[in-house]
């Protein structure tokens, strides 16, 4: 049996349960493709029975991926299992993840089921799923707060019914490494089986122990780790998969087993998800934070210059942090620009390159030195706009009086239809946002507004993030531009575009 540590990514399922995170259909597809490139073994693409949107994106991801297994989540409910079957049937490797809560608090307060009823449900639904899937994964939700003898009984029932992957969720982030590791050891010692069973860890970071708990599971025989990029997820988030992958790599002397992750794609994957989620990675975040490889103190800098290994246990290149020294400028030509794109790892076709070069010239006219970060922002911004459902055609602002501003906004949809409206407000942003609300004819509440400078200097490009509430649904938008007002306008239009009236099942999304 293959003994590498499998990486099960749930960025699109558990990760999307992060408050305010709402990936669009296109973003989900892009993330899935990038995760395949990064080398994850399984992608949990969604919870198909929960909404039409989730069903459709699981279906599209199943069709798009060629090597990575695609998994859908299901409660112990037949229609959930049917939905996963329908949504994943075109996948190269379709998978299902069936779960039911097993802890006393969940049995008594949420499910209102006795132990016997829980056991009967596991038997019935794992067997049912096994009719459709070669590989069935079962999770006893809130496993770490489940009485150990009952947990063993649940797992034995699932294994007898045909489950070949047993995932142990620390659903509320309650466990600590020694305790969590011992659960894995006990299960492997106790479960009787005539087929191979893989044990999998799924941790939450409420006490900051998600990665440590996952590593303890590996030390105790787990062969699969579930988590998300950048550790995004409900509350304090999930296990940060990039930390697990690098932990196993850097300390292979201890852990032995490796993942199949393509480490050089780590930074790019993290960046993509941070951008689509609208959640900036903290600067000091391990592996992917902006400061993860910078040295401030003189002694450290001196050491690193003499020999990087004095203070670096891994290089930035290992995880795909790409930088080149020389900035471009006004006089840089097509050739220099093209060379720079290659050096930064972009594979752009000649036509796109022509359009990008024009944009680059505009930036070079405004900025003396066009740095690597400017180029990254340029490409990301352009890509972002190409995929936008609505484009901002015109934004006009006028000072009225007494601090009042008026704004005229014209937007264009993908079929070329334009809509426009105008409004006044107590400042430019308020005026712009009122005008956009009028275009979409919706009542909104602004939850969050944030400007990040993507690049260095006072002439930096701005990245504006907004979060708005429409009919109790929180949606986010991002806009990148040199002009802060235009970036603000773009981000707000994107948030409106992301609003979809959809229904989600109320219970049980919290495995």
Nearest to Zn ion of 8, 128 (CB atom): 8
Which neighbouring-strand residues pair with 55?
none
**Residues 5-64 interacting with Zn ion (rule: CB under 5 A):** 14
Task: Point out the residue whose Cβ comes nearest to Zn ion.
Answer: 14
* In the complex, least distance from residue 410 CB atom to Zn ion, rounded to whole angstroms: 43
3-state SS of 183-196?
A: HHHHHHHHCCCCCC
d(CA 126, CA 146): 19
Closest among 253, 203, 193, 207 to 225, alpha carbons compared: 203
Q: Residue 167: phi, psi to the nearest 5?
A: -105, 135
d(CA 168, CA 140): 6
d(CA 133, CA 95): 7
Q: Residue 72: phi, psi to the nearest 5?
A: -120, 150
Provide the CA 76 distance to its chain's centre, in angstroms. 26
Closest among 10, 15, 17 to 474, alpha carbons compared: 17
Query: Given strand 445-453, what is the order of strands in its sheet?
Result: 445-453, 462-470, 473-481
Sign of CA dihedral 357, 362, 363, 364: positive
Nearest to Zn ion of 12, 363 (CB atom): 12
Nearest to Zn ion of 14, 41 (CB atom): 14
**Residues 364-393 interacting with Zn ion (rule: CB under 5 A):** none
Would the annotation count 14 as a binding residue? yes
Would the annotation count 82 as a binding residue? no
Rounded to whole angstroms, what are the CA distances from 498 to 27, 389, 465?
11, 9, 13
Tokens read off for 170: 């620390």
| Count of Cβ atoms closer than 10 Å to residue 482 Cβ | 17
Would the annotation count 202 as a binding residue? yes
Sign of CA dihedral 329, 334, 339, 340: positive
Closest among 76, 170, 63, 191 to 125, alpha carbons compared: 76
* In the complex, least distance from residue 14 CB atom to Zn ion, rounded to whole angstroms: 4
* In the complex, least distance from residue 234 CB atom to Zn ion, rounded to whole angstroms: 7
| Count of Cβ atoms closer than 10 Å to residue 415 Cβ | 5
Number of helical (H) and strand (E) elements in the chain, helices listed first: 17, 14
* In the complex, least distance from residue 139 CB atom to Zn ion, rounded to whole angstroms: 9
* In the complex, least distance from residue 111 CB atom to Zn ion, rounded to whole angstroms: 17
Q: Is the distance from CB of 395 to CB of 486 less than 8 angstroms?
A: yes
Would the annotation count 204 as a binding residue? yes
Contact between 141 and Zn ion per CB under 5 A: no
Q: Is the distance from CB of 324 to CB of 343 less than 8 angstroms?
A: yes
| Count of Cβ atoms closer than 10 Å to residue 227 Cβ | 33
d(CA 79, CA 147): 29
Provide the CA 351 distance to its chain's centre, in angstroms. 30
Nearest to Zn ion of 235, 251 (CB atom): 235
Nearest to Zn ion of 241, 363 (CB atom): 241
Nearest to Zn ion of 169, 320 (CB atom): 169
* In the complex, least distance from residue 99 CB atom to Zn ion, rounded to whole angstroms: 10
Nearest to Zn ion of 210, 395 (CB atom): 210
Nearest to Zn ion of 14, 437 (CB atom): 14
* In the complex, least distance from residue 141 CB atom to Zn ion, rounded to whole angstroms: 9
Interacting residues of 417 by C-beta distance below 8 A, sequence separation 6+: none
Nearest to Zn ion of 155, 460 (CB atom): 155
* In the complex, least distance from residue 276 CB atom to Zn ion, rounded to whole angstroms: 20
* In the complex, least distance from residue 474 CB atom to Zn ion, rounded to whole angstroms: 20
* In the complex, least distance from residue 23 CB atom to Zn ion, rounded to whole angstroms: 17
Q: Is the distance from CB of 61 to CB of 84 less than 8 angstroms?
A: no
Nearest to Zn ion of 210, 407 (CB atom): 210
| Count of Cβ atoms closer than 10 Å to residue 315 Cβ | 11
For Cα atoms 126, 132, 134, give the angle at the middle one, nearest 5 degrees: 80
- For Zn ion (CB under 5 A), the number of binding residues is 1
* In the complex, least distance from residue 170 CB atom to Zn ion, rounded to whole angstroms: 8
Nearest to Zn ion of 14, 271 (CB atom): 14
Q: What are the binding residues?
A: 14, 202, 204, 238
Interface residues with Zn ion (CB under 5 A) are: 14
Q: Which residues are annotated as a binding site for Mn(2+)?
A: 14, 202, 204, 238
């Amino acid at each position: 049996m293959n003994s590498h540590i499998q990486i099960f990514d749930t960025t699109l399922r558990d990760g999307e349960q992060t408050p305010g995170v709402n990936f669009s259909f296109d973003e989900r597809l892009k993330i899935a493709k990038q995760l395949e490139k990064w080398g994850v073994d399984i992608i949990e693409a969604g919870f198909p029975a929960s909404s039409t949107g989730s069903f459709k994106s699981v279906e599209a991801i199943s069709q798009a991926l060629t090597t990575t297994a695609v998994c859908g989540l299901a409660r112990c409910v037949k229609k959930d299992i049917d939905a996963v079957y329908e949504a994943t049937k075109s996948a190269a490797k379709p998978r299902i993840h069936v779960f039911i809560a097993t802890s006393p608090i969940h049995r008594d307060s949420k499910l209102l089921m006795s132990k016997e009823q829980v056991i009967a449900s596991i038997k019935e639904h794992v067997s049912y799923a096994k009719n459709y899937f070669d590989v069935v994964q079962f999770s006893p939700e809130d496993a770490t707060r489940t009485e150990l003898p009952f947990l063993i009984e649940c797992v034995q029932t699932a294994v007898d019914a045909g489950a070949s992957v047993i995932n142990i969720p620390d659903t509320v982030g309650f466990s600590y490494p020694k305790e969590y590791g011992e659960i894995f050891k006990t299960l492997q010692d106790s479960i009787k089986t005539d087929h191979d069973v893989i044990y999998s860890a799924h941790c939450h970071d409420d006490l900051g122990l998600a990665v440590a708990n996952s590593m303890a599971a590996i030390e105790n025989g787990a062969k699969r780790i579930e988590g998300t990029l950048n550790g995004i997820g409900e509350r304090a988030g999930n296990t940060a998969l990039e930390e697990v992958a690098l932990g196993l790599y850097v300390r292979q002397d201890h852990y032995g087993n490796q993942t199949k992750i393509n480490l050089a794609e780590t930074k790019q994957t993290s960046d993509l998800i941070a951008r689509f989620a609208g959640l900036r990675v903290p600067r000091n975040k391990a592996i992917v934070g902006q400061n993860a490889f910078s040295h401030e103190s003189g002694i450290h800098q001196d050491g690193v210059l003499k020999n990087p290994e004095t203070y670096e246990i891994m290089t930035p290149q290992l995880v795909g942090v790409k930088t080149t020294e020389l900035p471009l400028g006004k006089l840089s030509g097509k050739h220099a620009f093209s060379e720079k794109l290659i050096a930064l790892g972009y594979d752009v076709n000649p036509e796109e390159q022509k359009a990008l070069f024009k944009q680059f010239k505009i930036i070079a006219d405004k900025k003396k030195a066009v740095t690597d970060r400017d180029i990254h922002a340029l490409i990301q911004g352009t890509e972002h706009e190409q995929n936008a459902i609505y484009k901002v055609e015109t934004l006009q602002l006028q000072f009225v009086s007494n601090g009042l501003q008026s704004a005229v906004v014209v937007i264009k949809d993908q079929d070329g239809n334009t809509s426009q409206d105008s409004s006044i407000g107590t400042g430019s942003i308020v005026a712009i946002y009122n005008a956009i609300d009028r275009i979409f004819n919706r009542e909104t509440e602004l939850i969050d507004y944030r400007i990040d400078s993507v690049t260095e200097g006072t002439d930096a490009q701005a990245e504006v993030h907004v979060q708005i509430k429409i009919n109790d649904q929180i949606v986010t938008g991002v806009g990148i531009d040199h002009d802060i007002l235009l970036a603000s306008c773009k981000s707000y239009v994107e948030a409106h575009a992301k609003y979809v009236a959809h229904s989600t099942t109320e219970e049980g999304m919290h495995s």
